[in-house]
Structure 1
Amino acid sequence: MDKLKDAFNKVAEGAKNMKEKEEEKKKIKDVLNHKPINIRELREHCISEFGLVDSSIRKKAWPILLNIHDEVKVKDLKDDNTTTPKFISFDKDKGWNKHQNLENEKMADQIDKDVNRSLNHYPSFGIKSRRDQLSRMMNSIFQLNQDWSYYQGYNDICSAPLMAVEENMGFHVSVAISNYFIKDFLKSSFDKGVIPALNLMMKIIEGTHKEVYEKISFLEMPTFAVSWIITWFSHDLDSSEDIYRIFDYCIASHPAVSIYLAAATVIHNKDQLEDLEEGDIATLHMIFQKLGTENFDLEKVIALTEDLMEAYPPEDLLYDNKKIGFENDSPIIDPSLQLTTKIIQVAKETQEKYIVYPQSRVEKYGEYVTKGNLAAGTVTMICLYFIAQYYRSEDCPEPKPSDF
């Protein structure tokens, strides 16, 4: 009788979720069909339960959220040395495909190996052709961005855009994610990005959940979280829908979001850490190796991540970075390199069509300046000043309250 009741409850819950998802889809489509599109509202849907719901919406929303919408600026690598940016339609663009012959043979060989073990979390139909597409995407990305260093797990980052929005758009989405969110991990040494990220994760846990920190503080380096952070959990989760859901959330958030997600995942599993003995690294790693199948309520982890970002705002990284170790050109600590700033910079030419920028982030920029935090000689804060001045200028129209 109990089994029958449980089965009935599962069916009822599934029907309820389906209805709620359909209602959410309608709301998101209304946002996307409104001109100009309210970016802040679209981001809020990404953060709320279900995210963007399905990939038919992601195909339109991800490019908008990443500020590439239906025209893409591509690098001009012709021999004429022109620096004029080219703009081409998403639907027609395949210019990047001409650069798939990666000159770095060692990197190309590693990409080939990783591609052959990729896409196992996604529907297997046509997997060979999908892997061919993934190979073209990644080889082209690193041929066009030769200052980036490939890392194992980047194939997982590119797999989600490929499967969600197809090859061509997936290429541009992957490049945008690389530029605005994971650039620190594409540097020549993990010391420049991954180690600071792990330091930050521990700092977040220590500052918000001291009792959890004390359970794992014996670790010299919490390496169990590396793949979570550098692949946005896409290497560890079994469900493609969960992977897309995390990408929805990360694309709409601060560049440090995967680090906060990692901290939230540890805190979410704090009950399992109660009996952990100091120095028991094997048990600790075993607890978190189960991530893809158990111990991971995604919506609760995302909600907890939001709480952590409120308790320890990413903007505070501007002041705490000396203890963490990111380089000065990190989008995680430098607002001038973040996606929101880029949206402000192009607002004048796109506002009628798309952009209503997120007021809260811009207000933060202004707050840094007005509080007198402009440190003399620091490029970062000079950038903040000019962004704030631009936003307040007569040329940049004030958003109406109704826009938000």
Structure 2
Amino acid sequence: MPSLSDYSASFVVAKKLYSMICCYFICACLSMEVKFQRSKVSENVLRNAVSRTLQIKCNRMRTFIDENHDSLHLHISQLRQFAASTGGLVLDEIRALVWPVLASSLVQDSFTDQETASTFSDSDFESAHSDFTYEEHDSTIDSATILSSYIFLILSSPTLKDLQSHREWNQVQMDVQRTLARFPPDISDKERCTLQEDLTPLIVKILWSCPRFHYYQGFHDVCLTLLLVLGNEKAEHVGTLLANNGIFKGYLLRKLEDTVLRDLDLMHVLLWKVDEELEKVVRAVELGSLFALSWPLTWFSHALHHYHQIVLCFDFFLATHALTPIFLTSAVVLWRSNAVLNCSRDMASIHHLLNVIPNDIPVQALINDAQDLFRMFPPSRLRGPLMEDYQHLINISRIRKPSFPKTSLRKWLVAGTATAAIYVLSRYMFITSSY
């Protein structure tokens, strides 16, 4: 039987061991605290540096605008550089001065211009050179044409009764009510009611500017952003310019299959050139492009969660080529490559993963990536030889696919059709009632 002294010795050893463990634990905690504090200090230093850089940029822009206030339209290149560089235009007070100027000299897509001109004989695009593009022959709008069009719109401004009789009024009003129920957050009920009263007439006035325009769900998100930044009068002016002269003209005039969905096909070419493994997975599950439909349609204003992210995208798109929303879309998908590759290899799972943009998306970094993609794969090359090569790849892949036995094929078609019908009804409410 152990003696009392044995128990005492064991107790002393246990006590020393406990003390050592406590000391180790305290040291580990202190080490973690030091690392955390260092990380916090580093984050604060970085945040302060970025804030300081943006403040310097704001001062530069304010000085430039003050010095050239009456001739900003003569300095489009510099304004585009401000808008497309890191931080964009930073403040809404600067955006309110610069957006109307950028909207009056949009960088056009010559491919879309030619196609629109062949479909509608009254196209008023003229050729000019853009700073952001390289080998592309883009267009900007003739200022005299814009001025005369704007004067006409002012002189023929419809009354509220006229607007309410427009065929799209009821649909626009329903979409506006749904959108303002969720966005923008943190505003009073009074402000929300005012926005609702202003937004529906604003959208219908823009549609009124061209009898052939057909409203699509998502255009109200674009107009809401313009209204929040610019106020009613300037928002109508800029919205009318975007609708009549920008990429939105095609969306409002023609079927989405012939415009945005066709442009989104280019995303798959970019995925193939940059990340073959990702592209193979996307193609294998037959993902398509519908998960990203709202991104270019609304200039990301429907998909992003924060106001500052949305206006940063608008800065970028107003200053650059009409296809840059497609390049940013591609950059977002590439950014989520690891998540896609680790996801279940089925269309529904990957669609859901990509369709919901994370709250902490690094918008500025992805804008930089989009610009890099544009420089590496300009639209003429993307639509030309690269698209041909990609189509050839797809055709070869289809030929190599094993054929199904007739009985299996019949069952697969029945099951696939039913699944697709249920999936489309549940997922693509964006087109019918998601707003």
- Cα distance between partner residues in 2 of 1:243 and 1:249: 10
Q: Which moved more, 1:15-24 or 1:310-319?
A: 310-319
**Match of 2:332, SS?**
helix
**Match of 1:45, SS?**
helix
- Cα distance between partner residues in 2 of 1:212 and 1:165: 40
Aligned counterpart for 1:44 among listed residues 61, 75, 81: 81
Which residue of structure 2 aligns with residue 245 of structure 1?
312
Aligned counterpart for 2:174 among listed residues 84, 99, 113: 113
Aligned counterpart for 1:187 among listed residues 253, 262, 265: 253
Aligned counterpart for 2:51 among listed residues 11, 18, 40: 18
Contact 1:102 1:143 in 2 (8 A): no
Deviation at 1:136, TM superposition (A): 1.1
Instruction: Quote the RMSD (CA, aligned, Å).
Output: 3.1
**Match of 1:221, SS?**
coil
Which residue of structure 2 aligns with residue 145 of structure 1?
210
Which residue of structure 1 aligns with residue 201 of structure 2?
136
- Cα distance between partner residues in 2 of 1:13 and 1:205: 32
**Match of 1:118, SS?**
helix
Closer/same/farther in 2, CA of residues 86 and 313 from structure 1, 3 Å limit:
closer
Deviation at 1:108, TM superposition (A): 1.6
**Match of 2:159, SS?**
helix
Matched, 1:53 2:90: yes
For 1:266-303, what per-residue CA distance to the aligned partner results, in whole angstroms no more than 9, with x for missing partners?
Answer: 0111111222344x122212322441414x21111111
Contact 2:225 2:311 in 1 (8 A): yes
Code of the residue aligned with 1:29 in structure 2: it is: R
Deviation at 1:317, TM superposition (A): 5.7
Contact 2:266 2:382 in 1 (8 A): no
**Match of 1:52, SS?**
coil
Aligned counterpart for 2:240 among listed residues 175, 180, 203: 175
- Cα distance between partner residues in 2 of 1:68 and 1:45: 15
For 1:58-82, what per-residue CA distance to the aligned partner results, in whole angstroms no more than 9, with x for missing partners?
Answer: 111111112279xx98999xxxxxx
- Cα distance between partner residues in 2 of 1:94 and 1:208: 51
Give me the TM-score of the superposition, normalised by structure 1: 0.69
Code of the residue aligned with 1:22 in structure 2: it is: Q
> Any residues of structure 2 matched to 1:300-319 within 5 Å, and which?
300-316=365-381, 319=384
Contact 2:103 2:238 in 1 (8 A): yes
Which residue of structure 1 aligns with residue 159 of structure 2?
98
Code of the residue aligned with 1:57 in structure 2: it is: I
- Cα distance between partner residues in 2 of 1:256 and 1:314: 8
Q: Which has the larger radius of gyration?
A: 2
Structure number with higher helix proportion: 2
Closer/same/farther in 2, CA of residues 276 and 292 from structure 1, 3 Å limit:
closer
- Cα distance between partner residues in 2 of 1:186 and 1:193: 10
Deviation at 1:237, TM superposition (A): 0.8
Matched, 1:161 2:222: no
> Any residues of structure 2 matched to 1:158-237 within 5 Å, and which?
158-178=223-243, 179-218=245-284, 219=286, 221-237=288-304
- Cα distance between partner residues in 1 of 2:321 and 2:343: 32
Code of the residue aligned with 1:118 in structure 2: it is: T
Which residue of structure 2 aligns with residue 275 of structure 1?
342
Deviation at 1:229, TM superposition (A): 1.4
**Match of 1:152, SS?**
coil
Q: Which moved more, 1:249-258 or 1:118-127?
A: 118-127
Deviation at 1:8, TM superposition (A): 4.3
Code of the residue aligned with 1:283 in structure 2: it is: S
Code of the residue aligned with 2:219 in structure 1: it is: Y
**Match of 2:369, SS?**
helix
Contact 1:122 1:239 in 2 (8 A): no
Closer/same/farther in 2, CA of residues 190 and 15 from structure 1, 3 Å limit:
same
- Cα distance between partner residues in 2 of 1:227 and 1:168: 26
Deviation at 1:322, TM superposition (A): 8.9
Closer/same/farther in 2, CA of residues 13 and 131 from structure 1, 3 Å limit:
farther
Closer/same/farther in 2, CA of residues 64 and 321 from structure 1, 3 Å limit:
farther
Deviation at 1:87, TM superposition (A): 3.5
**Match of 1:50, SS?**
coil
Contact 1:51 1:248 in 2 (8 A): yes
Percent of aligned pairs with the same amino acid: 21
Which residue of structure 2 aligns with residue 259 of structure 1?
326
**Match of 1:186, SS?**
helix
For 1:304-340, what per-residue CA distance to the aligned partner results, in whole angstroms no more than 9, with x for missing partners?
Answer: 101110111023367469979xxxxxxxxxxxxxxxx
Closer/same/farther in 2, CA of residues 297 and 129 from structure 1, 3 Å limit:
same
- Cα distance between partner residues in 2 of 1:138 and 1:43: 26
Q: Which moved more, 1:135-144 or 1:242-251?
A: 135-144
Which residue of structure 2 aligns with residue 124 of structure 1?
187
Which ranges of structure 2 fall in alignment gaps of 5 or more residues? Answer: 1-32, 107-142, 390-435
- Cα distance between partner residues in 1 of 2:83 and 2:355: 27
Q: Which moved more, 1:213-222 or 1:30-39?
A: 30-39
Give me the TM-score of the superposition, normalised by structure 2: 0.64
Contact 1:52 1:248 in 2 (8 A): yes
Code of the residue aligned with 1:114 in structure 2: it is: D
Matched, 1:293 2:326: no
Code of the residue aligned with 2:237 in structure 1: it is: H
Deviation at 1:144, TM superposition (A): 2.2
Deviation at 1:122, TM superposition (A): 5.1
